Amino acid sequence: MDGDCIFCRIVKGESPAKFVYKDEDFVAFYDIRPSAPVHVLLVPAEHIESINSVEERHGRVISKMVLKAKVIARQLGIADSGYKLVINVGRGAGQIVFHLHIHLIGGWSKEKDEN
Ligand code: 5GP
Ligand code: ZN
């Protein structure tokens, strides 16, 4: 646990977020600065800094998050139009919050896809 971590605070309910899913292992909420029409973050309850610090024991929660991303994509209507699951690893890749998270990004218009 990291006292200064914004995602730990969101997980603990100490900072607000617009949740789409929550259980004891992980949460999913809308990104505050969406980079696409649909932009949801899936965040484990445990403070794991990045994929670089993932251990064997984290396999279960990561697989649960991926499976839930599929369900959320369906619920939000982007399963068939297509979406990306993105994990930025390290500053050089654009990671700014050092609490592991999966970006679920989609909802681009058909016109945009064709341009
Ligand atoms: P990263 O660049 O680390 O992969 O992604 C971090 C993401 O977290 C960014 O897309 C950013 O907009 C989002 N973010 C940062 N702070 C907050 C916050 O307080 N609330 C929410 N909902 N999203 C946040
Ligand atoms: Zn954290």
Structural domain boundaries in the chain: 6-114
Looking at residues 65-91, what average pLDDT do you find?
A: 98
Buried-state track 78-114, b at ≥16 Cβ within 10 A, e below 16: beeeebeeebbeeeeeebeebbbbbbbbbbbeeeeee
How far lies 65's CA from each of 56, 57, 69, in Å?
15, 14, 6
By CB atoms closer than 10 A (0-12, 13-18, 19+), residue 43 is: buried
Domain 6-114: give its CATH superfamily. HIT-like (3.30.428.10)
Q: Among all residues, which ones are annotated catalytic?
A: 101
Q: Output the average pLDDT for the chain.
A: 94
Q: Read off the pLDDT of residues 25-43 as tens digits, 9 standing for 90 and up.
A: 999 999 999 999 999 999 9
For residue 6 and ligand 1, the question of a CB distance below 6 A is answered with yes
Q: Which atom of ligand 1 is nearest to the CA of 30?
A: 22
For residue 49 and ligand 1, the question of a CB distance below 6 A is answered with no
